[in-house]
Amino acid sequence: MVQRLLQPGEIEALDHNAIPRLLLPQPATLFSARAKRLRQLAAGEVPGIPVEDALRGYLSLMAHVADAQHAAVAALGREGVALPDDASLKLAHDHNMPPLPATGARPAAWRTVFARLVEALAAAGNAPPQLAAAVATLRAMPEAELEGIADAILGNFDEGADPLRAPFVAAALQASWSLMAAQLDAAWAQPLMTGTLCPVCGSHPVASVVRIGGQSQGYRYLHCSVCESEWHMVRVKCSCCEANGKIAYQGLVGQDADPVGENIAAAKEGRTVHKANDPDKVARAETCDDCGTYRKIFNQEHDYDVDPLADDLGSMLLDVLVSEAGYARASGNPLLWLKENA
Protein backbone atom coordinates (compact mmCIF):
# COMPACT_ATOMS: atom_id res chain seq x y z
CA MET A 1 0.00 0.00 0.00
CA VAL A 2 1.35 3.40 -1.00
CA GLN A 3 1.37 5.92 1.84
CA ARG A 4 -0.46 9.13 0.97
CA LEU A 5 1.88 12.11 1.00
CA LEU A 6 0.74 15.43 2.37
CA GLN A 7 0.48 18.41 0.06
CA PRO A 8 1.89 21.82 1.12
CA GLY A 9 -1.45 23.18 2.39
CA GLU A 10 -2.06 20.06 4.45
CA ILE A 11 1.41 20.29 5.97
CA GLU A 12 0.62 23.76 7.33
CA ALA A 13 -2.59 22.42 8.91
CA LEU A 14 -0.78 19.75 10.94
CA ASP A 15 -0.87 19.80 14.73
CA HIS A 16 2.24 21.89 15.35
CA ASN A 17 2.32 20.76 18.96
CA ALA A 18 3.49 17.39 17.60
CA ILE A 19 6.38 19.03 15.76
CA PRO A 20 9.36 20.30 17.75
CA ARG A 21 9.04 23.91 16.62
CA LEU A 22 12.20 25.12 18.36
CA LEU A 23 15.53 23.32 18.69
CA LEU A 24 17.85 25.09 21.12
CA PRO A 25 21.62 24.96 20.56
CA GLN A 26 24.01 22.63 22.32
CA PRO A 27 27.15 24.78 22.54
CA ALA A 28 29.14 22.06 24.34
CA THR A 29 29.31 20.07 21.09
CA LEU A 30 28.17 22.51 18.38
CA PHE A 31 31.43 24.31 17.73
CA SER A 32 33.74 21.30 17.86
CA ALA A 33 31.50 19.54 15.33
CA ARG A 34 31.54 22.66 13.16
CA ALA A 35 35.34 22.81 13.26
CA LYS A 36 35.47 19.21 12.05
CA ARG A 37 33.00 19.95 9.26
CA LEU A 38 34.93 23.03 8.13
CA ARG A 39 38.11 20.96 7.87
CA GLN A 40 36.28 18.32 5.85
CA LEU A 41 35.03 21.01 3.49
CA ALA A 42 38.50 22.53 3.19
CA ALA A 43 39.90 19.11 2.31
CA GLY A 44 37.24 18.51 -0.33
CA GLU A 45 35.83 15.56 1.60
CA VAL A 46 32.13 16.48 1.46
CA PRO A 47 30.34 14.91 -1.53
CA GLY A 48 27.81 17.32 -2.97
CA ILE A 49 29.67 20.49 -1.91
CA PRO A 50 32.58 21.11 -4.27
CA VAL A 51 34.95 23.69 -2.79
CA GLU A 52 37.09 25.94 -4.95
CA ASP A 53 40.80 26.00 -4.16
CA ALA A 54 40.72 29.72 -3.37
CA LEU A 55 38.26 29.09 -0.54
CA ARG A 56 40.06 26.23 1.21
CA GLY A 57 42.41 28.45 3.20
CA TYR A 58 39.55 30.54 4.56
CA LEU A 59 37.61 27.45 5.60
CA SER A 60 40.68 26.19 7.44
CA LEU A 61 41.00 29.55 9.19
CA MET A 62 37.34 29.43 10.24
CA ALA A 63 37.91 25.92 11.58
CA HIS A 64 40.42 27.45 14.01
CA VAL A 65 37.79 30.04 14.92
CA ALA A 66 35.27 27.28 15.65
CA ASP A 67 37.91 25.54 17.79
CA ALA A 68 38.33 28.80 19.71
CA GLN A 69 34.57 29.11 20.16
CA HIS A 70 34.53 25.61 21.62
CA ALA A 71 37.42 26.45 23.96
CA ALA A 72 35.70 29.63 25.16
CA VAL A 73 32.41 27.85 25.78
CA ALA A 74 34.13 24.99 27.62
CA ALA A 75 36.08 27.40 29.82
CA LEU A 76 33.02 29.43 30.81
CA GLY A 77 30.62 26.55 31.35
CA ARG A 78 26.92 26.19 30.61
CA GLU A 79 25.92 29.35 32.51
CA GLY A 80 28.97 31.36 31.51
CA VAL A 81 26.75 34.10 30.08
CA ALA A 82 23.78 34.75 32.36
CA LEU A 83 20.24 35.13 31.08
CA PRO A 84 18.42 38.46 31.43
CA ASP A 85 16.52 38.87 34.69
CA ASP A 86 13.13 37.19 35.13
CA ALA A 87 11.22 40.45 34.68
CA SER A 88 12.84 41.06 31.27
CA LEU A 89 12.14 37.50 30.14
CA LYS A 90 8.51 37.74 31.25
CA LEU A 91 8.05 41.08 29.50
CA ALA A 92 9.37 39.63 26.24
CA HIS A 93 7.18 36.56 26.60
CA ASP A 94 4.04 38.56 27.39
CA HIS A 95 4.54 40.77 24.34
CA ASN A 96 5.55 37.99 21.95
CA MET A 97 9.08 39.36 21.56
CA PRO A 98 12.43 37.53 21.40
CA PRO A 99 13.64 36.81 24.96
CA LEU A 100 17.29 37.37 23.98
CA PRO A 101 17.11 40.22 21.44
CA ALA A 102 20.31 40.55 19.46
CA THR A 103 19.74 44.26 19.02
CA GLY A 104 19.05 44.90 22.69
CA ALA A 105 21.51 45.57 25.50
CA ARG A 106 24.38 43.10 25.32
CA PRO A 107 25.52 41.27 28.45
CA ALA A 108 28.95 42.50 29.55
CA ALA A 109 30.06 38.86 29.69
CA TRP A 110 30.21 38.74 25.91
CA ARG A 111 33.50 40.65 26.07
CA THR A 112 34.84 37.92 28.35
CA VAL A 113 33.85 35.40 25.70
CA PHE A 114 35.65 37.50 23.09
CA ALA A 115 38.81 37.63 25.22
CA ARG A 116 38.69 33.85 25.75
CA LEU A 117 38.25 33.31 22.04
CA VAL A 118 41.22 35.52 21.17
CA GLU A 119 43.45 33.73 23.68
CA ALA A 120 42.39 30.36 22.28
CA LEU A 121 43.26 31.57 18.79
CA ALA A 122 46.67 32.73 20.04
CA ALA A 123 47.34 29.25 21.42
CA ALA A 124 46.17 27.40 18.31
CA GLY A 125 48.54 24.84 16.90
CA ASN A 126 49.21 24.41 13.16
CA ALA A 127 47.56 27.77 12.57
CA PRO A 128 47.96 29.64 9.27
CA PRO A 129 50.39 32.61 9.34
CA GLN A 130 47.63 35.19 8.95
CA LEU A 131 46.06 34.11 12.23
CA ALA A 132 48.89 35.55 14.32
CA ALA A 133 48.43 38.94 12.65
CA ALA A 134 44.69 38.76 13.23
CA VAL A 135 45.20 37.95 16.92
CA ALA A 136 47.51 40.95 17.33
CA THR A 137 44.90 43.21 15.72
CA LEU A 138 42.10 41.82 17.88
CA ARG A 139 44.11 42.22 21.09
CA ALA A 140 44.86 45.86 20.27
CA MET A 141 41.27 46.79 19.46
CA PRO A 142 39.80 49.45 21.80
CA GLU A 143 36.61 48.46 23.60
CA ALA A 144 34.56 51.16 21.88
CA GLU A 145 35.67 49.86 18.50
CA LEU A 146 34.83 46.30 19.50
CA GLU A 147 31.34 47.33 20.57
CA GLY A 148 30.88 49.30 17.36
CA ILE A 149 31.67 46.26 15.22
CA ALA A 150 29.29 44.19 17.36
CA ASP A 151 26.56 46.80 16.79
CA ALA A 152 27.07 46.54 13.03
CA ILE A 153 27.02 42.74 13.03
CA LEU A 154 23.90 42.37 15.16
CA GLY A 155 22.13 45.20 13.34
CA ASN A 156 23.00 43.75 9.91
CA PHE A 157 24.82 46.91 8.89
CA ASP A 158 27.65 46.53 6.40
CA GLU A 159 28.99 49.93 7.38
CA GLY A 160 31.04 49.55 10.53
CA ALA A 161 31.60 45.81 10.15
CA ASP A 162 35.30 45.71 9.28
CA PRO A 163 35.55 42.57 7.10
CA LEU A 164 38.90 41.56 8.62
CA ARG A 165 37.74 41.66 12.24
CA ALA A 166 34.00 41.08 11.94
CA PRO A 167 34.17 37.26 11.61
CA PHE A 168 36.07 37.00 14.91
CA VAL A 169 33.70 39.37 16.69
CA ALA A 170 30.72 37.53 15.22
CA ALA A 171 32.17 34.25 16.51
CA ALA A 172 32.28 35.63 20.05
CA LEU A 173 28.70 36.88 19.74
CA GLN A 174 27.56 33.47 18.49
CA ALA A 175 29.24 31.72 21.42
CA SER A 176 27.70 34.20 23.87
CA TRP A 177 24.15 33.99 22.53
CA SER A 178 24.28 30.22 22.16
CA LEU A 179 25.24 29.91 25.83
CA MET A 180 22.23 32.01 26.78
CA ALA A 181 19.85 30.27 24.39
CA ALA A 182 20.84 26.85 25.71
CA GLN A 183 19.54 27.85 29.15
CA LEU A 184 16.00 28.55 27.91
CA ASP A 185 13.06 26.17 27.90
CA ALA A 186 12.11 25.47 24.29
CA ALA A 187 8.48 24.88 25.27
CA TRP A 188 8.33 28.30 26.95
CA ALA A 189 9.64 30.32 24.00
CA GLN A 190 6.96 31.64 21.66
CA PRO A 191 7.02 31.96 17.86
CA LEU A 192 7.12 35.51 16.55
CA MET A 193 4.46 37.11 14.36
CA THR A 194 6.78 36.41 11.43
CA GLY A 195 8.29 33.01 10.88
CA THR A 196 11.29 34.47 9.08
CA LEU A 197 13.12 35.68 12.21
CA CYS A 198 14.56 33.71 15.10
CA PRO A 199 12.05 33.42 17.96
CA VAL A 200 14.92 33.45 20.47
CA CYS A 201 16.97 36.49 19.41
CA GLY A 202 15.14 38.00 16.43
CA SER A 203 18.02 37.51 13.99
CA HIS A 204 17.88 36.31 10.40
CA PRO A 205 18.61 32.68 9.56
CA VAL A 206 21.85 31.88 7.79
CA ALA A 207 20.33 28.89 5.99
CA SER A 208 17.76 26.16 6.47
CA VAL A 209 18.24 22.46 7.13
CA VAL A 210 16.11 19.34 6.85
CA ARG A 211 16.68 17.35 10.04
CA ILE A 212 16.43 13.63 10.71
CA GLY A 213 15.83 11.65 13.86
CA GLY A 214 13.00 11.50 16.39
CA GLN A 215 10.11 13.94 16.09
CA SER A 216 12.18 16.24 13.85
CA GLN A 217 12.43 13.60 11.12
CA GLY A 218 12.02 15.17 7.70
CA TYR A 219 11.12 18.65 8.95
CA ARG A 220 12.76 21.84 7.72
CA TYR A 221 14.27 24.24 10.25
CA LEU A 222 15.78 27.70 9.84
CA HIS A 223 19.17 28.05 11.54
CA CYS A 224 19.83 31.32 13.38
CA SER A 225 22.97 33.21 12.41
CA VAL A 226 23.52 34.51 15.96
CA CYS A 227 22.18 32.27 18.74
CA GLU A 228 22.37 29.02 16.73
CA SER A 229 18.76 28.07 17.56
CA GLU A 230 16.62 26.39 14.90
CA TRP A 231 12.91 26.93 14.34
CA HIS A 232 10.46 25.02 12.21
CA MET A 233 9.12 26.31 8.91
CA VAL A 234 7.23 24.12 6.48
CA ARG A 235 9.00 23.20 3.29
CA VAL A 236 8.18 24.82 -0.04
CA LYS A 237 7.64 28.16 1.68
CA CYS A 238 9.92 31.14 1.19
CA SER A 239 11.94 31.81 4.33
CA CYS A 240 12.20 35.47 3.33
CA CYS A 241 8.67 36.54 2.28
CA GLU A 242 6.69 33.43 3.37
CA ALA A 243 5.04 33.01 -0.04
CA ASN A 244 4.74 29.48 -1.39
CA GLY A 245 3.59 29.88 -4.97
CA LYS A 246 6.84 30.30 -6.86
CA ILE A 247 9.45 28.23 -5.04
CA ALA A 248 12.13 26.24 -6.85
CA TYR A 249 15.25 24.40 -5.79
CA GLN A 250 18.48 25.16 -7.60
CA GLY A 251 21.39 22.78 -7.26
CA LEU A 252 24.85 22.57 -8.71
CA VAL A 253 23.46 20.08 -11.22
CA GLY A 254 20.51 22.28 -12.22
CA GLN A 255 16.99 23.07 -11.04
CA ASP A 256 15.10 20.45 -9.05
CA ALA A 257 11.39 19.94 -9.19
CA ASP A 258 9.30 20.73 -6.16
CA PRO A 259 10.34 17.80 -3.90
CA VAL A 260 6.88 17.51 -2.31
CA GLY A 261 5.08 17.58 -5.64
CA GLU A 262 7.60 15.19 -7.15
CA ASN A 263 6.94 12.62 -4.44
CA ILE A 264 3.15 13.08 -4.71
CA ALA A 265 3.27 12.38 -8.43
CA ALA A 266 5.48 9.36 -7.85
CA ALA A 267 3.14 7.98 -5.18
CA LYS A 268 0.17 8.20 -7.54
CA GLU A 269 2.14 6.15 -10.05
CA GLY A 270 3.18 3.61 -7.43
CA ARG A 271 6.87 4.49 -7.55
CA THR A 272 9.33 6.12 -5.17
CA VAL A 273 11.74 8.91 -6.05
CA HIS A 274 13.03 9.65 -2.55
CA LYS A 275 16.59 8.47 -2.19
CA ALA A 276 18.77 9.06 0.84
CA ASN A 277 22.47 9.89 0.65
CA ASP A 278 22.19 11.63 -2.71
CA PRO A 279 25.14 14.07 -2.95
CA ASP A 280 23.26 16.22 -5.46
CA LYS A 281 20.66 17.05 -2.79
CA VAL A 282 22.97 17.88 0.12
CA ALA A 283 23.13 21.58 -0.76
CA ARG A 284 20.54 23.49 -2.77
CA ALA A 285 19.30 27.04 -3.05
CA GLU A 286 15.62 27.63 -2.40
CA THR A 287 14.65 30.43 -4.78
CA CYS A 288 11.49 32.51 -4.67
CA ASP A 289 10.16 34.32 -7.72
CA ASP A 290 7.75 36.33 -5.57
CA CYS A 291 10.49 38.27 -3.75
CA GLY A 292 13.49 37.43 -5.94
CA THR A 293 15.64 36.07 -3.12
CA TYR A 294 17.21 32.75 -2.24
CA ARG A 295 18.44 30.97 0.84
CA LYS A 296 20.32 27.69 0.93
CA ILE A 297 18.81 24.51 2.29
CA PHE A 298 20.95 21.59 3.47
CA ASN A 299 19.56 18.11 3.87
CA GLN A 300 20.61 15.82 6.69
CA GLU A 301 18.81 12.98 4.91
CA HIS A 302 21.59 13.10 2.33
CA ASP A 303 24.52 13.92 4.63
CA TYR A 304 24.16 13.29 8.34
CA ASP A 305 26.94 15.75 9.25
CA VAL A 306 25.52 18.87 7.60
CA ASP A 307 26.19 22.12 9.45
CA PRO A 308 24.14 25.00 8.01
CA LEU A 309 26.69 27.71 8.77
CA ALA A 310 29.80 25.74 7.73
CA ASP A 311 28.15 24.30 4.64
CA ASP A 312 26.91 27.74 3.65
CA LEU A 313 30.50 29.00 3.74
CA GLY A 314 31.74 26.03 1.75
CA SER A 315 29.11 26.24 -0.99
CA MET A 316 29.94 29.67 -2.38
CA LEU A 317 29.94 28.26 -5.89
CA LEU A 318 26.19 27.80 -5.47
CA ASP A 319 25.90 31.47 -4.44
CA VAL A 320 27.65 32.51 -7.64
CA LEU A 321 25.44 30.40 -9.87
CA VAL A 322 22.17 31.49 -8.26
CA SER A 323 23.21 35.15 -8.18
CA GLU A 324 24.02 34.97 -11.89
CA ALA A 325 20.47 33.71 -12.41
CA GLY A 326 19.21 36.99 -10.93
CA TYR A 327 18.39 36.10 -7.32
CA ALA A 328 19.57 38.11 -4.31
CA ARG A 329 20.80 36.41 -1.18
CA ALA A 330 18.22 36.78 1.61
CA SER A 331 20.78 37.20 4.41
CA GLY A 332 24.49 36.83 4.99
CA ASN A 333 26.84 34.55 6.85
CA PRO A 334 28.29 36.17 10.00
CA LEU A 335 31.68 34.55 9.42
CA LEU A 336 32.13 36.14 5.99
CA TRP A 337 32.13 39.88 5.30
CA LEU A 338 33.18 40.84 1.80
CA LYS A 339 35.24 43.99 1.34
CA GLU A 340 33.05 45.37 -1.38
CA ASN A 341 30.08 45.26 1.02
CA ALA A 342 31.90 46.82 3.97
Which superfamily is assigned to 25-181 in CATH? Answer: FdhE-like domain (3.90.1670.10)
Chain Cα centroid distance, residue 203: 10
Q: Over the range 97-128, which residues count as b (16 or more CB within 10 Å of their CB) and which as e? A: ebbbbbebebbeebbbbbebbbebbbebeebe
Measured from the Cβ of residue 30, the count of other Cβ atoms closer than 10 Å reads 21
Measured from the Cβ of residue 38, the count of other Cβ atoms closer than 10 Å reads 27
Of all residues in the chain, what percent carry a pLDDT higher than 90? 77
Q: Is it the case that residue 107 has pLDDT exceeding 70?
A: yes
Q: What is the pLDDT of residue 33?
A: 99
E strands, 234-316, where?
Answer: 247-251, 254-256, 283-288, 293-299
Q: Could you tell me the pLDDT band of residue 69, with boundaries at 50, 70 and 90?
A: very high
Q: Which residues does 87 contact at the CB level (< 8 Å), separation at least 6?
A: none
CATH topology of domain 205-341: FdhE-like fold (3.90.1670)
Task: Give me the mean pLDDT over the 132-151 stretch.
Answer: 96
- In this predicted model, what pLDDT tens digit does every residue of 8-36 receive, in sequence order? 555 454 444 578 999 999 999 999 999 99
Q: Rounded to two decimals, what is the model's pTM?
A: 0.89
Q: What is the pLDDT of residue 181?
A: 98
Region(s) of the chain under CATH 3.90.1670.10: 25-181, 205-341
Q: Are 286 and 205 in contact (CB under 8 A)?
A: no
